[in-house]
Amino acid sequence: MITERVQRVVTEWAAEEGWAETPVCRLERPAEEAHGDYATAVCLQMAKAARRPPLVLAEELRRHLLADPEVARAVDKLEIAGPGFLNFTLSRDAYVEAMAEMLAAGEDFGRGPERAHPRVNLEFVSVNPNGPLHVGHGRYAAYGDSLQRLLKFSGMNVATEFYINDYGRQMDRFGRSVAARYAQSFGVDLPVPNDGYQGEYVKEIAAGLRAEIGDRYAEALERAASRVTVAGAPGRNAGGARETAPEEVLYEEEEEETPDGLAEWPDDPAIKEAVDFFRTRACRVMLEQMKSELEAFGVVFDCWFSETGLHVDGRLERVVQRLLDAGEAYREGDAVWLRTTSRGDDKDRVLIRRNGAPTYFAADIAYHESKLERGFEHLINIWGADHHGYVARMKAAVEILSGRPGSLEIIIGQLVNLLEKGALRQMSTRRGEMVTLAELVRAIGVDAARFFLVSRSQDQTLDLDLDLARRHSQDNPVYYVQYAHARIASIIRNVPEGMEAGVPVGAEVFATPYEQALVKRLESFPAVVQDAAERRAPHRIAGYAQELAGDFHVFYKHCRVIGVGPEEGASRLALCLVTKRVVARCLHLLGVSAPESM
Partner RNA sequence: GCGCCUGUAGCUCAGUUGGAUAGAGCGUUGGUCUACGAAACCAAAGGCCGGAGGUUCGAAUCCUCUCAGGCGCACCA
List the interface residues with RNA, window 205-264 (CB under 7 A): 255, 259
- Minimum CB distance to RNA smaller for 133 or for 537: 537
Partnered with residue 85 across adjacent β-strands are 81
245, 263, 385, 505: which one binds RNA (CB under 7 A): 385
- Minimum CB distance to RNA smaller for 116 or for 597: 597
For the bound state, the minimum distance from the C-beta of residue 124 to RNA, rounded and expressed in Å, comes to 15
486, 499, 511, 527: which one binds RNA (CB under 7 A): 486
CB contact at 8 A, 140 and 183: no
- Minimum CB distance to RNA smaller for 278 or for 479: 479
455 binds RNA per the rule CB under 7 A:
yes
462 binds RNA per the rule CB under 7 A:
yes
Closest of 588, 380, 515 to residue 37, by C-alpha: 515
Cα angle: 520, vertex 68, 58; to 5 degrees: 80
Partnered with residue 379 across adjacent β-strands are 121, 408
3 binds RNA per the rule CB under 7 A:
no
* Contacts with RNA, 275-304, as mask; x by CB under 7 A: ------------------------------
Neighbouring CB atoms inside 10 A of 199's CB total 21
* Contacts with RNA, 522-551, as mask; x by CB under 7 A: ---------------x-xx--x--x---x-
243, 302, 334, 500: which one binds RNA (CB under 7 A): 334
Amino acid at 519: V
1, 5, 30, 536: which one binds RNA (CB under 7 A): 30
For the bound state, the minimum distance from the C-beta of residue 157 to RNA, rounded and expressed in Å, comes to 23
* Contacts with RNA, 386-405, as mask; x by CB under 7 A: xxxxx---------------
597 binds RNA per the rule CB under 7 A:
yes
49 binds RNA per the rule CB under 7 A:
no
CB contact at 8 A, 458 and 539: yes
Residues 6+ apart with CB under 8 A from 436: 132, 133, 134, 135
- Minimum CB distance to RNA smaller for 164 or for 220: 164
Q: CB under 7 A: which stretch of 148-156, 190-198, 278-286, 345-353 binds RNA?
A: 345-353
487 binds RNA per the rule CB under 7 A:
yes
Write phi, then psi, for 258 (nearest 5 degrees).
-125, 75
Q: Give, in order, the Cα–Cα distances in Å from 584 to each of 111, 485, 576.
A: 13, 7, 12
268, 459, 467, 500: which one binds RNA (CB under 7 A): 459
CB contact at 8 A, 147 and 532: no
* Contacts with RNA, 88-127, as mask; x by CB under 7 A: ----------------------------------------
The DSSP secondary structure of 190-220, one letter per residue, reads: -PPPTTS---HHHHHHHHHHHHHHTTTTHHH
Closest of 77, 80, 64 to residue 16, by C-alpha: 64
445 binds RNA per the rule CB under 7 A:
no
87 binds RNA per the rule CB under 7 A:
yes
- Minimum CB distance to RNA smaller for 41 or for 100: 41
83, 344, 405, 406: which one binds RNA (CB under 7 A): 83
Q: What is the DSSP letter of 108?
A: G
169 binds RNA per the rule CB under 7 A:
yes
39 binds RNA per the rule CB under 7 A:
yes
For the bound state, the minimum distance from the C-beta of residue 240 to RNA, rounded and expressed in Å, comes to 29
414, 516, 524, 571: which one binds RNA (CB under 7 A): 414
Cα angle: 549, vertex 555, 557; to 5 degrees: 105
CB contact at 8 A, 208 and 218: no
Task: Looking at 403-538, list the stretches that DSSP marks H as alpha helix, in order from N- to C-terminal side.
Answer: 437-444, 446-455, 466-471, 477-494, 513-523, 525-534
425 binds RNA per the rule CB under 7 A:
no
Q: Give, in order, the Cα–Cα distances in Å from 222 to each of 185, 188, 189, 190, 231.
A: 11, 6, 8, 7, 18
- Minimum CB distance to RNA smaller for 114 or for 475: 475
For the bound state, the minimum distance from the C-beta of residue 29 to RNA, rounded and expressed in Å, comes to 10
330 binds RNA per the rule CB under 7 A:
no
Report the alpha-carbon distance of residue 132 to residue 439 in Å, rounded: 10
350 binds RNA per the rule CB under 7 A:
yes
- Minimum CB distance to RNA smaller for 186 or for 360: 360
The DSSP secondary structure of 142-157, one letter per residue, reads: HHHHHHHHHHHHTT-E
353 binds RNA per the rule CB under 7 A:
yes
Q: Give, in order, the Cα–Cα distances in Å from 492 to each of 482, 488, 545, 578, 587.
A: 15, 6, 20, 12, 19
